[in-house]
């Protein structure tokens, strides 16, 4: 299963968030870096495994701040966000502790996002993801908290990216309810399933998990 990025991430308290936000602003004035121009994400771009919030504040300056975002099971959590004012480049970064000392992954979502990883972007359909993977894969049944996640890339290229990180993809079809045969916890759907092709979901969220 590839949805651990949001299930197990830890986020700072509100007080610590304000402290980081203040320090980020001060660092931004002291050392304003140029923003990345590449949109190809991977195991070391735009965030490297183990980087701290302080490291990212130095690198991104005013293009980084702490915000409240949606977490697992409807929970609201604090996230370190890169490019918060730019929907095309917005990225949310997770950490393994309240001190935000080690980045454990990142995610992005929303139509119009320019980020892509291994040939996959928000809006990619199942056929495009299968081609990028080079093999069939499976998707969790839709209609529950962890529904629509690509759960098993098998021996495909998306199983592990160069550099050792893994990718998590979530599929959905906004404005269209999935059929009962494709819904529910415990349901696993092959990317080659004809019913899935008829439902025609697309990637709505991408995450990279460091290991």
pLDDT in tens, 132-158: 999 999 999 999 989 999 978 988 999
Distance, in Å, from the CA atom of 50 to the CA atom of 20, rounded to the nearest integer, reads 17
Give residue 30's pLDDT. 38
Q: How many CB atoms lie within 10 A of CB 200?
A: 12
Last residue of a domain, one of 61, 81, 106: 106
Q: Do 133 and 153 fall within a single domain? A: yes
Q: Do 69 and 98 fall within a single domain? A: yes
Q: Do 130 and 45 fall within a single domain? A: no
Residue 153 lies in a domain: yes
Q: Do 102 and 9 fall within a single domain? A: yes
Number of domains in the chain: 2
Last residue of a domain, one of 59, 85, 106: 106
| Domain carrying residue 146 | 116-209
Q: Do 198 and 138 fall within a single domain? A: yes
Q: Do 73 and 151 fall within a single domain? A: no
Q: Do 162 and 194 fall within a single domain? A: yes
Residue 162 lies in a domain: yes
Q: Do 20 and 79 fall within a single domain? A: yes
Q: Do 90 and 130 fall within a single domain? A: no
Q: In this model, does residue 29 exceed pLDDT 50?
A: no
Alpha carbon 203 to its chain centroid, in Å, reads 11
Q: Do 125 and 101 fall within a single domain? A: no
151 neighbors 2 (Cβ within 8 angstroms):
yes
Residue 45 lies in a domain: yes
The residue-averaged pLDDT of 167-195 equals: 95
Contacts of 72 by beta carbon, 8 Å cutoff, 6+ apart: 6, 7, 145
Q: How many CB atoms lie within 10 A of CB 131?
A: 14
CA distances from 77 to 27, 125, 178, 182 (A): 24, 29, 28, 30
Q: Do 134 and 186 fall within a single domain? A: yes
Q: Tokens representing 187?
A: 């349901």
80 neighbors 47 (Cβ within 8 angstroms):
no
Residue 134 lies in a domain: yes
Give residue 36's pLDDT. 52
Give residue 200's pLDDT. 97
Residue 41 lies in a domain: yes
Give residue 12's pLDDT. 39
Residue 34 lies in a domain: yes
Give residue 57's pLDDT. 94
Q: Do 175 and 194 fall within a single domain? A: yes
Give residue 98's pLDDT. 80
Residue 111 lies in a domain: no
Last residue of a domain, one of 106, 130, 162: 106
**DSSP-derived 3-state class of residue 103:** strand
Residue 63 lies in a domain: yes
């Amino acid at each position: 299963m590839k949805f651990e990025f949001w299930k197990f991430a830890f986020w700072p308290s509100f007080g610590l968030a304000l402290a980081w936000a203040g320090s980020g602003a001060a660092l931004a004035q002291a050392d304003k870096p140029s923003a990345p121009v590449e949109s190809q994400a991977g195991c070391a771009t735009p965030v490297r495994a183990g980087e701290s919030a302080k490291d990212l504040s130095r690198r991104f300056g005013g293009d980084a701040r702490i915000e409240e975002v949606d977490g697992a099971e409807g929970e609201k959590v604090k996230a370190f966000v890169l490019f918060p004012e730019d929907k095309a480049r917005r990225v949310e970064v997770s950490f393994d502790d309240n001190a935000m000392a080690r980045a454990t992954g990142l995610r992005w979502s929303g139509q119009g996002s320019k980020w892509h990883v291994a040939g996959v972007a928000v809006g990619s359909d199942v056929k495009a993801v299968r081609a990028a993977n080079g093999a069939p894969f499976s998707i969790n049944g839709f209609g529950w908290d962890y529904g629509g996640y690509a759960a098993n890339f098998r021996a495909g290229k998306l199983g592990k990216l160069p550099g050792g990180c893994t990718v998590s993809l979530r599929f959905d079809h906004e404005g269209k309810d999935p059929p009962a045969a494709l819904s529910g916890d415990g349901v696993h759907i092959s990317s080659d399933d004809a019913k899935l092709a008829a439902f025609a979901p697309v990637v709505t969220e991408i995450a990279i998990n460091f290991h």
